[in-house]
Amino acid sequence: MEHRGKVKGIAARAALWSARHRMLAILGWIAFVAGTVVLSGQLGTREASFADQGSGDSGRAEKIVEGAGFPERPAGEMVLIQSRAGSDRGPATAEVSRTLSGLSDVTDVQPPIQSPDGRSTLIAFSISGDPATAKDRVGPALDAVARVQSGHPDLFIAEAGDASGDKLIGDELEAGLSRLSMLSIPVTLGILLVAFGAVVAALLPVGLAVTAVVAAIGLMAAGSRLAPTVDATSHVMLLVGLAVGVDYCLFYIRRERDERRAGAGPDRALMIAAQTSGRSIWISGLTVIVAMAGMFLTRDTTFVSFGLGTILVVATAVLGSLTVLPALLSALGDRVDAIKIPGLYRRRSDGRLWNGLLRAVLARPLISVVVALGVLGALAAPVLDLRTRGEVIEDLSPRMPVVQAYRAIGDAFPSKTTPAEVVVRAPTVRGERFERALADFRAAVGGSGGRLVEPVDVRINPAGTVAVVSVGLTGHGDDRAAVDALKLLRGEVVPAAFGRLPGATALVSGETAGSVDFNGQLERSLPWVFGFVLGLAFLLLLVSFRSVTVAITGVVLNLISVAAAYGMLVYVFQYGHFEKQLDFTASAGITNWIPLFLFVILFGLSMDYHVFVLSRIREGHDRGLPTRQAVREGIGRTAGVITSAAVVMVAVFALFATLPLTSTKELGVGLAAAVLLDATIIRAVLLPAVMALLGRANWWLPGWLNWLPQVAHELPAEVAATPARRPLTPVG
C-alpha cells in the first residue's frame, strides 16, 4: 500500500500498518485471543467474597466475622406449614420432620416452632457438607416437601433457604443465560444480514465482537488480581462487548463500502474509512472508557468489577476494530460483499425516510426542539419519584415456589428471613459483663414495640473474642418498617447494651443493614462520579471538535437521554406497568445499583452515536459547507448505519429483559429504551434542530483556547488525491 505524504492519526497509521502486514495482523489477533484464554486458565479468576462486597458498618462487620475463625455454617433451610381455613397442621408437621430426618444429606432437623398468630409452623434444618455446593444436594429435600404438599392440599407447605435459593437462582440464571447466548448472536447476525445484504460483511462484526469479549474475559483473570470480580461481571461484559464491538465494525465497514461504491480504489476507501470512522471509533471508545472509569470512584467492589470489565472489553473491541478489521478488509477487498442476499443487498441506501424527517426538522427547527423536548420531558417526568432498594430473592418470578415460600416465611417469621446481626468484638465476649450486656439487649428487644423481633440467637467464635447476636427486624428487606427498626437497633439498642463493654466494637450487619449502607455509600459517591464523567466527556468533546458549544450540547443531550431512560424505568418497574409481560412484581424502588450503572453505560454508549454523527457533520463544515447543509449531509449519510447499530444494541439489550432477575430486566429495558430514544428523537430530531438554530455558534471556541490541537475531520489532501488502485495482493 502506497501513499504520498505522511498519514496522520492513530487509526490511519494502524490501518496502514495492518493493510501492509495483513497476515501478521490477522494471525496476531488470533494469537492474542488464544493467549488470553490460556492466561485465564493458568491464573484463574479471583472472585470477590461476601465480605469484600460489603459497605460501611455492615461491610466492616462482615470482615470481622470472616477473620474470626467461626466454624463454617452449613446451608440452612426452612419448611413452612401454613393453615388454610383452620386446617390441622399436626399430621403434616410430623410427616415433614420424619421425612427430612430420613434423608442422607439433611442434618440438624429442629423441633417445629409456631408463629405468633398460630397459623404457621416452621421447621428448620441444614444441608450437610460445603455450603457453597449445597444447592447440588438440596434436591431430595425439595422433592420430599413437594410430596408432603401433594398429600395435604388443604395446607400450604413449601421450602426456602440458602441452598434452595441458590439452586433456584443458579438454575434460572443458567437457563436464562443459555437462552441469551443462543439468541443474542443469531439475532445480531440476522440484523446485520438485513443491514448489509451480504453474508461475509455481516459475519465480520459478529466474529470480531465475540472474539473481543472472549479476549476481555481472559484478561479479566489478570485484572481480578487488582480488583476481585463479582458473578455478574462476565454478563455485563457480554452485554457491552457485543453491542460496542458490532457497532464499531459496522461504522468502519459501512464507510469503507460507501467509499468503494462512490468510486474510490481499495487503498483510498480503506484510508478514508480509517481517517473518519476509525478516528470516531478511537474517540468514542476513549470516551466510553473514561465514563466506565467513573465507577472506580464509588469504591464499591461490584462497581469496580463492572468498571474494570467494561473498560477491558471496550478497549479490546477498539483494538480489534483498528487493527485486525482493516487487515481483513484489505485481504477481502470487494469480496466482503460476497454471498449477496437477493432483495436485501443494495449498493447504497437512499435513506428516504430519515432524509424526509430531516428536511422537516431543518425547515422548522424551533418547533422540532419544542416537540422533542416535550416528548422526552414527559418520558423523564417519573424520574422525580425514583427510589432505590436492595436486591432480594423476591426479585425472581413471583410464580416460583421458593419465592412464594420465602415471602410467606417472611410474613409469619420475620426474624428468620431478614435478621440483623450485631457483631461484637472485644477482648472477651464470655463472662459476666457480656452476659449482662446480652440480657440488657434482650430486654430492649422485648420492649421495642414489635420493631425488633425475638428470638435472639448468639454465636461465639472459638477464641471467645467475637460474638454474633441475631435478632429479627419487622418489615421486609429495606422497606420503611425494616429501616426504622434498623435505626432503632443501631442508634439506641446496640450502644446502650454493648457500648459499656471494655474495648468493644459493636457493628450491625445483615440484609437490611447492607442495603442501607450500600445506598449511603452510593449517595456520597454520586456527585464525584457524575462530575468525573461529565467533566471528562466535556473535555474530550472539546479537544476532538474544538468547540465549547459542541461539547456542552453533547453533554446536555446525553443527560436528557439518561433522564428519559430513568423515567421509563420508574414507570415500568416502580409503578408496575407491564408486570405480566415482563414477569416481575413491582416494588417500592429500582434496584440500588442500576441508576448509577445505567448512567455510566448510557453516557458512554451515547457517545458512540454522537461522535460518529458529529464527525461526519464536521467533515462537511471543514469543506466549507453552511451549517444546515453540513448537518443535512452528515446526518443523512449516517442515518442508515446509525439505525442498524441502534437496532443491534436494542435487540441485544432487550434480550436481557428475558432473564429471571428483576435487576437484569431493569438493565435490559433501561438500556434498550435509552438507545432507541437516543438514535431516534435525540440524533434525528433534537441534535439537527439545535445545531440548525445555533448556526455558526456551533463551532465557537474562545480565543484563549486556540492552543488546543487541530484535529482534522476530513481526509488529508495527499490521501484524498491518491488515485484508485488495483486491489491489494497478499503480502509476501
- Per-residue model confidence as pLDDT tens digits over 394-425: 777 777 778 888 888 888 886 677 689 999 99
The CATH code of the domain at 1-44+197-347+702-732 is 1.20.1640
**Rounded Cα gap, residues 179 and 54, in angstroms:** 31
Strand duo 388-389 + 590-591: pairing: parallel
- Residue 346 pLDDT grade (very low, low, confident, very high; cuts 50, 70, 90): low
Nearest to 333 by CA among 206, 199, 200, 211: 200
Cα-Cα-Cα-Cα dihedral of 384, 385, 388, 391, to 10°?
-130
Give this prediction's pTM. Answer: 0.81
pLDDT tier at 4 (50, 70, 90 boundaries)?
very low
Question: Which one has a higher pLDDT value, 728 or 229?
Answer: 229
Residue 693 pLDDT grade (very low, low, confident, very high; cuts 50, 70, 90): very high
pLDDT in the model for residue 351: 59
CA torsion sign for 380, 381, 382, 385 is positive
The span from the CA of 73 to the CA of 358, in Å, is: 65
* For the ranges 403-412, 510-519, 606-615, the one whose mean pLDDT is highest: 510-519
What was the pLDDT predicted at 277?
A: 86
The one-letter amino acid at 655? L
Can you tell me the distance from the alpha carbon of 21 to that of 605, in angstroms, rounded to the nearest whole number?
Answer: 31
DSSP classification of residue 67: T
Question: What are the grid coordinates assigned to 413, written together?
Answer: 417469621
**Which pLDDT value is given to residue 208?**
93
What pLDDT shows up at residue 291? 86
Which segments of the chain belong to CATH 3.30.70.1430? 401-516
pLDDT band of residue 93 (cuts 50, 70, 90) is: very high
434, pLDDT greater than 70: yes
pLDDT of the residue at 366: 95
Range name among 71-75, 212-216, 348-352 with the lowest pLDDT average: 348-352
Choice among 83-87, 145-149, 561-565, 585-589 with the minimum mean pLDDT: 83-87
The number of CA neighbours under 13 Å toward the Cβ of 83 is 14
**Cβ-proximal residues to 722 (8 Å cutoff; 6+ apart), any chain:** 3, 4, 265, 267, 268, 271
Predicted confidence at residue 712, as pLDDT, reads: 53
Place of cell 431430595: 140
Query: What integer best gives the mean pLDDT of the chain?
Result: 86
Query: What per-residue confidence (pLDDT) applies to 729?
Result: 35
Is the separation of the CB atoms in 167 and 135 below 8 Å? yes
Q: State the Rg of the chain over Cα.
A: 30
pLDDT of residue 383: 93
| Three cell numbers written together for 293 | 472509569
Q: What is the mean pLDDT of residues 581-601?
A: 87
Tell me phi and psi for residue 586, to 5 degrees.
-60, 150
Do 507 and 64 touch, CB atoms closer than 8 A?
yes
pLDDT higher at 308 or 176: 308
Question: What's the rounded Cα separation, in Å, for the pair 581 and 48?
Answer: 34
- Asked if 410 contacts 418 with a C-beta cutoff of 8 angstroms, the reply is yes
Q: How many Cα neighbours within 13 Å face the side chain of 592?
A: 22
Query: Among candidates 562, 588, 546, which has minimal Cα distance to 671?
Result: 562
Q: What is the DSSP string of 257-306?
A: HHHHHTT--HHHHHHHHIIIIIHHHHHHHHHHHHHHHGGGGG--HHHHHH
Closest to 93 measured CA to CA, from 103, 80, 104: 80
Q: Is the pLDDT of residue 430 over 60?
A: yes
Question: So what's the pLDDT on residue 413?
Answer: 81
Confidence of residue 468 (pLDDT cuts 50, 70, 90): very high
- pLDDT attached to residue 716: 45
> Within its chain, how far is the Cα of 97 from the centroid?
43
CATH architecture of the region 401-516? 2-Layer Sandwich (3.30)
Nearest alpha-carbon partner for 558 in 656, 381, 665, 677: 677
Range list for CATH 3.30.70.260 in the chain = 72-168
- CA–CA gap between residue 495 and residue 511 (Å, rounded): 20
pLDDT at 722: 41
- Residue with grid cell 458549544, as numbered in its chain: 549
The residue with cell 440438624 is 108
CA–CA dist 89, 376 (Å, integer): 56
Q: Are 603 and 621 in contact (CB under 8 A)?
A: no
Hey, which of 230-244, 349-363, 567-581 has the most confident mean pLDDT?
567-581
Kindly report which listed range (24-33, 329-338, 443-452, 654-663) carries the lowest average pLDDT score: 654-663
Average pLDDT for 290-317: 91
> What is the pLDDT, as a whole number, of residue 564?
94
Residue 556 and residue 508: Cα distance in Å, rounded? 42
505 beta partners: 425
Task: Please list the residues that pair with 155 across neighbouring strands.
Answer: 83
Residue 292 CA, chain-centre distance (Å), reads 11
Q: Answer whether residue 174 shows pLDDT above 80.
A: no
Residue-level pLDDT at 661: 82
What is the percentage of the chain residues whose pLDDT exceeds 70?
94
pLDDT of res. 350: 52
State the pLDDT at residue 230: 85
Cβ-Cβ contacts under 8 Å for 390 (sequence gap 6 or more): 477, 478, 511, 512, 514, 515, 518, 519, 591, 592
Q: What is the CATH number of domain 72-168?
A: 3.30.70.260
The per-residue pLDDT for range 672-686, each reduced to its tens digit, is 998 899 888 998 899
